[in-house]
Structure 1
Amino acid sequence: MINKICFITTLFFSFTLSQDYLWPVKAKKEITAVFGEERPGRYHTGVDVRTFGEIGYHLVAIDDGYISRIRTSSKGYGKTIYLQLHDGNTAVYAHLDHFTPKVDNLVNALHENYGRYTIDHKIDPEDYPVKKGDLIGYSGDTGGVSGPHLHFEIRDGYGQPVNPFEYSLDLPDELPPEAESIAVIPLDKNAIIDGFSKQKIFPLQKINDNEYVLADTIYASGNIGIAIKTLDKISGQHFNFGIYSINLLLDAQFIYSMQYNKIDWGNASKIYTERSYSLAREGYGKYYHIFSHHDNQSLPFINSKSRSGFIFDQKVVHDAIIDIHDFAGNKIEIRAYFVSDTLPKFEYSTTFLDNKCTITFNHEEKVRPYFYLTEPISTDMLIPTEYYDMGNNTYLVENINPPFNVLQISAKNNSGVSSLANFHMKPRQDFENIEGEFKLKHYEQGIIISFKENIFSGLNAFLSMKKEGYLYSHKLKRDSKLTLSSGLFAPSDLENVTELKIYYESST
C-alpha cells in the first residue's frame, strides 16, 4: 500500500510541475498563431498572444525563476526577455514595448556602454530573481513585426523550442481541424497520377465534422506521396491555426506520423521538405507532406519510421486513412481510395461537318459517353449537350456554334470508371501565330515545361529545344483545354538550352 501511495504522489507531483505555468499576459486568452506554423523559410517556434492592436499589456513571470538574458534590436524579436525557470526551461517574451523600470535602467546603461542599440546581454542568476506572477515587462511591437502582439516561447534545457501547449498554456477547444483537399505527388519520373506525371489536387467531401472522403478514386502507379491542405480551429478564437499532428495508414500499414512537440533550430531550412513549396508557389495554399524526405528524417517531430512515399505496382485497390489531431485531442479522419492502374483510354475518331460532329468509339466494350460544349478561351463553363446514339458506338452532336464551339468528350467503361476529358473543335485554317505563355514547373523529381494557349487551337503540338547546337523534339500532352505539357525533365536535361519553341501539327 505504501508503494502505491508513493507512486501516485510522484505522478501527481510531476504532472503539476509541467502543468502549472501562468498565462504570460494580463489580457484575454486569445492567440493568433501556434507552434509549428509556417513562416518564410522557417518554422514558428512559439505562440503569438493577441494584444488587440495595442501596446502596454502587463507581461508576467509564468513561474519562479530569474531573468537570464535581455536583447534589444530593431529587427527580429525586438526587445526580448529570457526568463530562466526553476524547472530548467526558459520562457521567452519577444516584441516588448519596454521592460520594468529596473531592467530599463540596465538596458539604457548597456546601450550607452556598447554604443549601439542592438545588444544581447546575459545576466547572473542572483541579479534579477522573479516570482510567479511578477511583472517583467510590457507588450509592444518592436522588431520585425506587422502589429502589436507577444511572441512567446518555451525552450528546453538545451535551448531548443518546445510546444508551449505542453505546459498548460493551451486553450479550451472543442472544434476539430478542417480539411480541404489532398495533393497526390509523383516522386519519380515514372509515377503517373490520373494519366499525367505531375502532381494533382483532389477536393475532399465533408461527411460530418469529423469525417471526410475523397469522392473519386485516384488512379496512380509508381512511387507517389500525399500532401494535405488542412487547418485547425480553436473554440472562442478568431483565427485559423496550424495543426498539431498527422498520421497516415495505407492498407492498415503505418506510413507516416508527425507531431509538433519540438523543433530544433538547425532544422529551420528543412521546412520545405515537410511543406509543399511548389504547391504554395503555384497559388494553391499551404500543404503538409505526409511522407518522409531524405533531407527531413532528422526532424524531431516526424516519426523516424515514416516512409518516403509508397509504390503502386499491382492492380489492386488501396485504402488510405489520414488522421489529423489538434492539441486538445479533437480529430478528423479522411478516407481515400487508390487504384494501382491507369485510367481507361478509349480510342475514337471525330468528323466535323458544319455545326455537327460524329464521334465513333473504336472499342469493343460498350461505353457511356459524356459530351459538353465550352468556349475556346480561359473559362470553366461547360454546357451539357444532347446527342444521338447512332448505334455501333457512334454518336452525333449537333448545334456546335460559337462561342461554345469546343466539344469536350469523355466516357465511362462498364465499371463506371471515367476517362480523361479530351477537347475538339472543327479544324480551322486561320491559325497563323498561336500565342501563349511558357511555364517551367519545378518539382522535387524534375521539371515540367508547359505552354498555355491564349485560345484553344485543337492541334497536337511538339516542344522543340535547342541545346548545344542541336534540336530536340518532345511530344506534348494536352492536360487541360488550353495547357500542353511535357513529361518530366531532369534539371541536367535543360542545361545549356538556348531556345524553346512550340510546333503544331497541321490539321490538313
Structure 2
Amino acid sequence: MRFLLIALFIFPGLAIAQNPYPQDYFSNPLEIPLILSGTFAELRSNHFHSGIDIKTQQRVGLKVKASADGFVSRIKVSHYGYGKALYITHPNGYTTVYAHLQKFSPEIEAYVKKQQYKKESYEIELFPSAETLLVKKDSLIAYSGNSGGSGGPHLHYEIRDNQERPINPMLFGIDIADTSGPYVKSVYAYPLDKNAFINNSNEKQKLRLIPLNNGDYAVENIQAVGNIGIGIETNDRQNYAPNANGVYNIQTFFNGNRNFELDFKRFSFSETKHINQLIDYEHYATKRQRIQKLFKKNNPLSIFKSVVNNGVLHIKDSAYAVYKIRIADFKNNETWVTLNIKGEKSPTAKPTETKITPYYIKANQTTNLKEGAVSVDFYKDTFYDDFYLDFELHNDTLKLHKDVMAAKKYFNITYNVSNYNTTDKRKLYIARLVGSKQYPAYTTTKRKENTLIASTKTLGTYALATDTINPTITPINFKNNQWMSNYHYLKIKIDDVGSGISNYRATVNGKWILMEYDYKTKTLTHSFSDGVVTDTKNNLKLIVTDNVGNNSTFETLFYRK
C-alpha cells in the first residue's frame, strides 16, 4: 500500500478519474458531531473564510484525524494566523488543511520539534517529501486547539484543489445539520451617480424591512430614478449553534429576470483581498457591519455569476419595477426579499455635493504627495475608485483621509527623521492613531538611513511615536531557586506597552530551548517533555526585544531531578 500511495503521487495518471467533487472520500476530521461556528467563504476582515470552523465543545485536545489517505506536504507553525497548521495531500489531487491545532501527533510532533531546535525558532514552515510522513484515513494526526489567531477552541478545516484554491468542504459530502433559512439584518439602496435619486435623495438609504410569517421579507416601497444598486446584510445559522455564519448563494431578479448572483463555492487566495470592494467598505469601517453590494464595480472576484448590467438597476421615471433577492444556504433553505420600486423624481431633488480638496487620486495612476518631512506614495491601482483625498500635516501628525476607501495594494508613508538625534531616532516608529483616544498602534516600520517607511493598506491618521520602555518579563509558575521536578511546563508572561514584541530568545545553561508564544495571553511556555533540560541546576536566560530594539533580560535559577 505504501508503494501504491507513493506511485499515485509520482504518476497521477494511475489514479482513477474522480468527479469534480468526490462524495464520501473525505471523512469527518473529528470524533464528535460536526457543528459549525464558521462557514466557507463567509465575510471576514480583509478576506473570505477559506474553510469551515468546527466547534470542539469549548475544549482543546480533541483527536484530529486524517480525512483520507495521503502524506503531510506542509507544516506551518506561527504565532499568528493559523497557528499550528497541517496540510495533507491526497492521491486525488486535493489537499486538506487542519489549523489552530494544540499539537501534532507524536510522530509529526517529533519531526517538527527536531527542525525547530535545529533552526532555533518556534515559528517554522516545512515541506516534507511524499515519503516522509504518510498517513492513513482516520489516523491520528493532531489535537485540536486554539493556537494562532483563533478566537476560541475550534478546528479550522479546508479542502483545496491542486491549484491551492479553497473549495467549500460541504460539496464533498461533509454533512452539517441545517433546517432553517438565512435571515436578513438590513437592506440598503445606493444612488450610483449624481443623476440617481432614492426617495428624493442622492445619498444611500436604509430601507425598512418587514418580516413575513413564512420567514421571507418585504421591503418598504421606494421611489427612485436613474442607476441604483441594492446592498444586503445577511447571515445563516446551522442547527445546534447560535453563530451568525455566512450564506452560500445570493441571486437577484429585476422584473422577473435574474440580473446578479454571488456563488460561494470556491475562490483563490489571490482574489480574497477584493472582499473590501464587495462590501460597503465605508459602512464597515465606521459601523462594523458588512453590507454586501448586489452590484459590481471594478471588482474581479470570480464569485460573480449571471451578472447583467453589473447588477445595476436602471429606473425610469414613471415606471414600476419589482426587485427580488433570493438568499440560500448550502442545504438550499432559502429566504426571499421583495422590493417594489416606483420610478419618480422630485423636481426639488439635488445631487450631493462632493468635498473638493487639492489632492485628487486617480486609481489608474501613480500619485506621489509630499509635505514637509513626510511623503506618501500611492502606486497605480492602489485603489478601486477615484476620489478627493484629505492630506494634511501638523508637526509629525499626518492626516491621510479617513479609513473609508478600500485599497487593494499597499502604499508607502515615509518620514524623514534626519532632524532627530541618533539616540531618539532609534526609538521612533510610525504609528496609526486609532480610537477616540488616538492610541498609537504600531505600523510595521522599516528603517533606511534617515528615513522611516511604513507600508499599509489603511488610510487614516499617522504620527511618529517614541518607545523608550523595555518589555516586561514576569514568571508565572515559578520563582528563583525553585525546584521544578514535578512540573511539566515553565511559563512566563512577556509584554510591551509601546511598539510591541518583536522577538524573544530563551536558553537553559547556554542551550536554546523552545518556547511557544501565545500573543493572546502574552505567555511563553516551555514543555519539559522536550528533554533538553537534563541538569539538576539550571540557569534560565530570556531576552525579549520590542520593535524598536528595546530589550529586557531575565535570568533565574531552577532545579530538577
**TM-score scaled to structure 2, two decimals?**
0.58
- In structure 2, relative to structure 1, the CA distance for the partners of 1:175 and 1:112 (3 Å cut) is same
Tell me, what secondary structure is at the counterpart of 1:152?
strand
In the TM superposition, 1:239-388 aligns within 5 A as 239-283=243-287, 285-294=289-298, 296=299, 298-303=300-305, 305-308=307-310, 309-342=312-345
Structure 2 residue identity aligned to 1:62: S
> Could you list the per-position Cα deviations for residues 310-341 of structure 1 after superposition, in whole angstroms to 9, with x for gaps in the alignment?
22233201011111110001111111111121
Structure 1 residue aligned with 2:122: 117
The one of 163, 167, 185 aligned to 2:168: 163
The answer for the alignment partner of 2:29 in structure 1 is: 24
Structure-2 separation of matches of 1:116 and 1:218: 61
Check conservation: 1:96, 1:140, Cα contact below 8 A: yes
Q: Flag the 1:38–1:243 CA change in 2: closer, same or farther, 3 A.
A: same
Take 2:102 and 2:392, find their aligned partners in 1: how far apart are those partners? 54
Corresponding residue to 2:85 among 74, 77, 80: 80
Structure 1 position 467, deviation (Å): 7.9
Q: Percent identity?
A: 27
1:180 aligns with 2:185: yes
State how 1:121-132 maps to structure 2 within 5 Å: 121-132=126-137
Report how far residue 285 of structure 1 moved: 2.2
Residue matched to 1:142: 147
Change (3 A) 1:57 1:448: farther
Residue 211 of structure 2 corresponds to residue 221 of structure 1: no
2:39 — aligned with what? Answer: 34
Seen in structure 2, the aligned counterparts of structure 1 residues 27 and 306 have a Cα distance that, compared at 3 Å, is farther
Q: Which residue of 2 aligns with 1:397?
A: none
SS of the aligned residue for 2:271 comes to helix
1:34–1:44 contact (8 Å) kept in structure 2: yes
Structure 1 residue 446, shift from structure 2 partner? 8.6
Judged with a 3 Å threshold, the aligned counterparts in structure 2 of structure 1 residues 56 and 189 are, in CA distance, closer, same or farther, namely same
TM-score, normalization: structure 1? 0.64
Cα 1:180–1:343 shift into 2, 3 Å = farther
CA distance in 1, matches of 2:137, 2:179: 29
SS of the residue corresponding to residue 305 of structure 2 reads: coil
Kept in 2: contact 1:139–1:148 (CA 8 A): yes
Please report how far the alpha carbon of residue 179 of structure 1 lies from its aligned counterpart in structure 2 after TM superposition.
1.5
Give the C-alpha shift of residue 448 in structure 1.
Answer: 5.8
Q: Is the 8 A contact 1:256 1:303 kept in 2?
A: yes
Change (3 A) 1:120 1:191: same
Q: 1:447: how far off?
A: 7.4
Q: Separation in 1 of the partners of 2:249 and 2:145?
A: 31
- Give the whole-Å Cα distance in 2 for the aligned partners of 1:203 and 1:234: 26
SS at match of 2:250: strand
TM-aligned CA distance change 1:251 to 1:284, over 3 Å: farther
- Does the CA-based 8 Å contact 1:50-1:150 persist in structure 2? yes
How far apart are the structure 1 equivalents of 2:92 and 2:139?
17
Question: In structure 1, how many angstroms separate the alpha carbons of the residues matched to 2:268 and 2:296?
Answer: 17
Q: Could you give the per-residue CA deviations for residues 39-60 of structure 1, whole angstroms, max 9, x where no partner exists?
A: 2111111111111332100000
* Superposed displacement of residue 15, structure 1: 8.8
CA contact (8 A) 2:271 2:301 kept: yes
Tell me: CA distance 1:342–1:496, structure 2 relative to 1, closer, same or farther (3 Å).
farther
Verify the 8 A CA contact 1:24 1:61 in the aligned structure 2: yes
- Taking structure 1 as reference, are residues 121 and 35 closer, same or farther at Cα in structure 2, changes over 3 Å only? same
C-alpha distance 115-171 of structure 1, shift in aligned 2 (>3 A): same
Aligned-pair Cα RMSD in Å:
2.9
Alignment of 1:86-101 (within 5 A): 86-101=91-106
Shift in Å, 1:69: 1.1
Q: 1:374-413 residue pairs with structure 2 within 5 A?
A: none
CA contact (8 A) 2:21 2:171 kept: no
Contact 1:292 1:306 in 2 (8 A): no
2:212 matched to 1:207?
yes
- Could you tell me whether the CA contact under 8 Å between 1:467 and 1:496 is conserved in 2? no
SS in 2 for 1:217: strand
Rounded Cα–Cα distance in structure 1 between residues aligned with 2:145 and 2:158: 16
Relative distance call for 1:209 and 1:466 in structure 2 (3 A) is closer
**Contact 1:221 1:313 (8 Å CA) reproduced:** yes
1:69-107 Cα distance to aligned partner (Å, 9 max, x none): 111111111111101122211000011111111111111
SS at match of 2:287: coil
Q: Distance in 2 between matches of 1:284 and 1:124?
A: 44
Runs of 4+ in 1 over 6 A off after TM superposition: 465-468, 493-498
- Counterpart CA distance in 1 for 2:346 and 2:307 is 32
- Identify the match of residue 104 of structure 1 among 109, 133, 138: 109
Counterparts of 2:271 and 2:169, CA distance in 1: 19
Write the distance in 1 (CA, Å) between the matches of 2:352 and 2:66: 51
What aligned pairs does 1:493-504 form with structure 2 within 5 A after superposition? none
Do the aligned residues in 2 keep the contact of 1:180 with 1:203 (CA within 8 Å)?
no
Give how far 1:63 is off.
1.2
The answer as to whether partners of 1:162 and 1:263 remain within 8 angstroms in 2 is: yes
Change (3 A) 1:116 1:284: closer
* Superposed CA offset, 1:425-465 (max 9, x none): xxxxxxxxxxxxxxxxxxxx99767xxxxxxxxxxxxxxx9
Structure 1 pair 282–64 and aligned structure 2 pair: CA distance change class (3 A): same
Give 1:13 shift: 7.9
Deviations 1:212-236 (A, max 9, x none): 111x211111211100121112122
Q: Which amino acid aligns with 1:205?
A: I
Deviation at 1:245, TM superposition (A): 0.5
Contact 1:36/1:46 (CA < 8 Å) preserved in 2? Answer: yes
Residues in 2 aligned to 1:240 and 1:312: alpha-carbon distance in whole angstroms: 34
Distance 2:392 2:111 in 1: 60
Residues 359-394 of structure 1, C-alpha deviations (whole Å, 9 max, x = no match): xxxxxxxxxxxxxxxxxxxxxxxxxxxxxxxxxxxx
Unaligned runs of 5+ residues in structure 1 are: 1-11, 346-418, 420-444, 450-464, 469-489, 499-508
Can you give the 5+ residue segments of structure 2 that lack an aligned partner in the other structure? 1-16, 360-385, 395-561
Is 1:467–1:497's contact at 8 Å kept on the other side of the alignment?
no
Summarize the Cα distance change of 1:496–1:170 in structure 2 as closer, same or farther, 3 Å threshold.
same
Letter of the structure 2 residue corresponding to residue 300 of structure 1? S
Secondary structure, counterpart of 1:98 in structure 2? strand
Aligned residues: 351
Name the SS for the 2:37 alignment partner. strand
2:75 aligned partner: 70
